[in-house]
Amino acid sequence: MRVLIANHRYFVASGAERYLFNVASELEARGHVVMPFAMRHKDNAPTPYARYFVSAIGAEDQLYFSDYCRSPKAILKSFPRLFYSKEVERAAERMARETQPDVAYVLLYLRKLSPSLLVGLKRAGAPIVVRLSDYGMFCAQTYCLRNEKPCTACQAGSLLPSVVHGCVESSRIVSAIHALAMRLQRARGYFDLVDQFVVTNAFMLESMQRAGLPRERLTCIPTFVDINRFAPPVDEALHKPYVLFCGRLHRAKGAHLLIEAMRLLRAQGRRMRLRIAGVGQDERYVDALKLQVGDAHLTEQIEFEGHVDPAAVPALYQHALCSVAPALSFENLPNAVLESLACSAPVIASDVGSLACTLTDGFDSLLFPAGDAVALAERIGRLADDPALRARLSQGARTTAVRLHAPEAHLTRLLGLFERLARPQTAVPPQALGFLPESEVQLPVLADVPQRPP
């Protein structure tokens, strides 16, 4: 099978790209041809398909909006990438016509490539599967967080709350621009071009149904983890046990909450180590974390590891007392959680969103109320004080990883979906191939969405 995989980056900068390279490797190992489509960037992995890549929004060494927001040229270019880009449409159509994929698998594309990607692929007759890596289908901010609490104010269809609260870049103007782009894209039917949406967990499945996507257009395929590379330690003894945070340093991930929990443990006389592995886009937040550690007199207990070589990551989990996922937002089944489970490291996680529906409290993890540092400190202390509890959770963690998140199960379901949708394709909905007069624009009806079953 020939699979075109589209993502706005072709190097690892987030969990979406880690999944991209992992699934591409698994597909190629099974004899399938993988053809990437992305923006040009100096860090992109080499590929003969780079000739189809579209230009970067800013310079080719820039990644985030904060990197190029001071460039008027880049700002002007960001508008078509947010709304609709003819460059992306033409490049995607050309690649799909010349390479003839059996299916197009689309990951991150909104706001960097725009739904013009879908139009280009469909013009060439490619079936389209979109894997939802965030909540950007109904949340302009993409991770559903306001005032450090989960927010679903825009889930029913109206994007006005995101504008009122300035959810995007803490700016009402930027939020209004994003909301307008989402409204126009919905109105013009671009998402009708998607043959099937893939979600990674039951919580997102329900969330997307509540946002108006029909159940028959959604397929739940949990993310997978390499259970051979991420495996339990040979030596089960914890020589210098530590608590581990592994992931991107972003406020929604809750690293500051974990540091506060460590301060509370220190106040109880517990001198426990914490290793924070990961980097962050927001330098102000990273600096605030380091200041928080200093103010709490925890510099000897808390280490910022920064970027960790991928080869060294399994050992981080294998020798940890536990890993912590103190997310404030719903999350989307983080790789770090699955890697920890596979290494038999119990997870202490927020009882929210995808974490709550993926983990089983008392079997493979300990859950705590999101945002509650006192409860988080209690869970860490309980695990440290009870070797039998840790041993039981460790066994459950590995069981969950092997039974539910092994590569073979994921690839079997994904390839089954691809084969069902593979060419020939039906005709392209005409409203998606050009701009309709405003008088003909019809917004989708989002009423009567399914509710959680009793």
Say whether both 33 and 108 belong to one domain.
yes
Say whether both 338 and 428 belong to one domain.
no
Please report the pLDDT score of residue 438 as a whole number.
Answer: 31
pLDDT in tens, the chain (454 residues): 999 999 999 999 888 999 999 999 999 999 999 999 999 999 999 999 999 999 998 776 666 666 666 677 777 778 888 999 999 999 999 999 999 999 999 999 998 999 999 999 999 999 999 999 999 999 999 999 999 999 999 999 999 999 999 999 899 999 999 999 999 999 999 999 999 999 999 999 999 999 999 999 999 999 999 999 999 998 766 556 899 999 999 999 999 999 999 999 999 999 999 999 999 888 999 999 999 999 999 999 999 999 999 999 999 999 999 999 999 999 998 999 999 999 999 999 999 999 999 999 999 999 999 999 999 999 999 999 999 999 999 999 999 999 999 999 999 999 999 999 996 654 455 444 543 333 333 333 333 223 333 3
Question: Which range marks the domain in which residue 384 is found?
Answer: 243-404
Say whether both 349 and 386 belong to one domain.
yes
Place of tokens 């460590």: 262
Say whether both 124 and 198 belong to one domain.
yes
Tell me which amino acid residue 394 is. Answer: S
Say whether both 367 and 418 belong to one domain.
no
Is residue 285 domain-resident? Answer: yes
Is residue 167 domain-resident? Answer: no
Residue 403 has a CB neighbour count (10 Å cut-off) of 9
Say whether both 398 and 322 belong to one domain.
yes
Say whether both 296 and 260 belong to one domain.
yes
Say whether both 329 and 195 belong to one domain.
no
Say whether both 392 and 335 belong to one domain.
yes
Please report the pLDDT score of residue 452 as a whole number.
Answer: 30
Is residue 413 domain-resident? Answer: yes
According to DSSP, the residues that pair with 417 across neighbouring strands are: none
Please report the pLDDT score of residue 81 as a whole number.
Answer: 86
Cα 255 to chain centroid, rounded:
17
| CB of 157 closer than 8 Å to CB of 212 | yes
Is residue 235 domain-resident? Answer: no
Is residue 452 domain-resident? Answer: no
Please report the pLDDT score of residue 241 as a whole number.
Answer: 85
Say whether both 264 and 400 belong to one domain.
yes
> For the domain that residue 389 is a member of, what is the CATH number?
3.40.50.2000
Say whether both 420 and 396 belong to one domain.
no
Task: Pick the last residue of a domain from 376, 404, 432.
Answer: 404
User: Is the full-model pTM beyond 0.75?
Assistant: yes
- What is d(CA 315, CA 13) in angstroms, rounded to the nearest whole number? 21
Secondary structure letter of residue 87 according to DSSP: H
Say whether both 107 and 220 belong to one domain.
yes
Phi, then psi, of 275 in degrees rounded to 5: -110, 125
According to DSSP, the residues that pair with 198 across neighbouring strands are: 131, 219
Number of domains present in the structure of the chain: 2
Is residue 250 domain-resident? Answer: yes
Is residue 149 domain-resident? Answer: no
Is residue 234 domain-resident? Answer: no
